[in-house]
Amino acid sequence: MGVLIIEDDASMREVLAFQVGEVAPDVEVAVNGQAGLEAFDPARHAIVITDLKMPKVDGMTVLRKVLERAPQTLVVVVTAFGDVAVAVDAMKAGAFDFIPKPFDREHLRSVIRKALSVTALRTRVTELEETLAWGERSLVYSSARMGAAITTVDRVAGSDATILLTGESGTGKELLARRVHARSPRRAGPFVAVNCGAIPRELLESELFGHARGAFTGAVKEHKGRFEAAHRGTLFLDEIGELPVDLQPKLLRVLESGAVDVLGRERPQPVDVRIVAATNRDLAAKATAGRFRTDLYFRLAVIEVRTPPLRERPEDVPVLVEHFLAKWSGTRRLRVAADAMAMLREAPWTGNVRELENAVRRFCLLADGEVIGADLVVEALRLTSGIPVAAGAGIVLPAGGVSLRDLERQVILKALQTNGFNQSQTAKFLRVPRHILLYRMKKYGIAEGEGQP
């Protein structure tokens, strides 16, 4: 929730930066309108304070350009005494408020506090809308296996117990984590998700625990970690099995003390966070082998819930297919023929629900009529699985032969997609060293994220 100050007068810029910094933790400055527009980043600057009278690029231009790029940004204009008419024009153009020069310190602070409150309220509304969008309506199932997992989650959602969700990729672990949050007393607080396997080791510590300004070379401003961001809410630690060994004691300390050691701060920062973790690894086996701290495993697995793979609950396939048809078929009323649905039920679905959705989306795009037949499903399964298949016959080799190179590329690409392009995880999935996987990716020209929607 940063503030960008655009002011061409050096002394006024310094005064504004100091006084705004008393109520806003993250303040940046720009020396003129052009520099301000170049520095403006909607992801960092929720509030822009700009002088109206500046050479070349004036405040009205800044106001217009900022709101064109990010309509939710709050722009406060600073104008000289007597230019009230100009300030009124700025308000009509979308400015949040205006401050006349010379400004009263308390009036400036009041305007900034009000802008910060509005921004915080908007952020909270967005978080609540996201929670609703990811709520239990997104959990589609009919099987007893998935029902048992959901029953357990619902039973413990009202507590603050740490939950470990286990199961293969694509089985719905994040949906269950969001269900926990939505049904907990913390539902009015934030739900913050972080993928421990997708963030480079050198950034992960700062991303989780945060750092103070000047904590290390390049730390030009304070960074709030995900623990602080999730204060009074839920923190979802996905792929917890990928957490580096040297960061595991620090996570354990947070779980035991309820406080975060922020890099560069003298005192720990208290946090009130409920932890839900997820993994597709066998953490108990990793702990036994010494690759994951046993004490951390037991702290995470106070409640352990397994999400069953789709191949163990084929009765969920028809209801999921109907759900994805409604999502991806647009205005068309598509249905799947009985023999085609039988094929879908019998498919292995190594990528689980995520793979099934991709398949349904594919044959929604390719269907000519209203009925999706076995021939289209065969083609969709061949493309999503990377393996030639035929109706009722399992794996077959086409009479005209098959390119081993193409087949290997398809298998590697599918394995990467199934594992979220996590290279270490994919290498283990394919049972090859990581450097061999990297060599094959380069050999076949497989790009990061290729084929993902």
Considering only CA atoms, which of 3, 88, 16 is closest in space to residue 51? 16
Rounded CA gap, 310 and 198, in Å? 24
Superfamily covering domain 2-128: Response regulator (3.40.50.2300)
Residues 159-212 have pLDDT tens digits of: 999 999 999 999 999 999 999 998 899 988 999 999 998 888 878 888 899 888
Q: How far is CA 419 from each of CA 9, 243, 412, rounded to the nearest angstrom?
A: 53, 16, 11
The pLDDT > 90 percentage for the chain reads 42
- Where does residue 135 rank: exposed (0-12), middle (13-18), buried (19+ CB within 10 A)? middle
Query: Which residue intervals of the chain bear CATH 1.10.8.60?
Result: 312-443
Average pLDDT over residues 277-290: 92
Fold classification of 312-443 (topology level): Helicase, Ruva Protein; domain 3 (1.10.8)
E-strand ranges in 330-449 read 335-336, 371-372, 389-390, 394-395
pLDDT at 136: 47
Please say if the pLDDT value at position 382 is more than 50: yes
β-strands 74-80, 97-101 pairing: parallel
Considering only CA atoms, which of 355, 357, 364, 409 is closest in space to residue 385? 355
Query: The whole model's pTM is what?
Result: 0.60
Rounded CA gap, 133 and 326, in Å? 16
Residues 106-123 have pLDDT tens digits of: 889 899 999 989 988 887
Q: Return the CATH number of the domain spanning residue range 134-306.
A: 3.40.50.300
pLDDT at 162: 96
The four Cα atoms 349, 352, 357, 360 give a dihedral, to 10 degrees, of: 20
Q: Which residues, at least 6 apart from 190, have a Cβ–Cβ distance to it below 8 Å? A: 124, 127, 229, 230, 231, 232, 233, 234
* C-alpha triplet 394, 395, 397: angle, nearest 5°: 135
Query: Which residue intervals of the chain bear CATH 3.40.50.2300?
Result: 2-128
Considering only CA atoms, which of 292, 354, 283 is closest in space to residue 324? 354
Residues 297-354 have pLDDT tens digits of: 999 999 999 999 999 999 999 999 999 999 898 888 899 999 899 989 988 888 899 8
Q: Left, alpha or beta for 232 (phi > 0: left; psi -120 to 50: alpha)?
A: left
3-state class (DSSP) for residue 214: coil
Q: 213 — phi, psi (to 5°)?
A: -60, 130
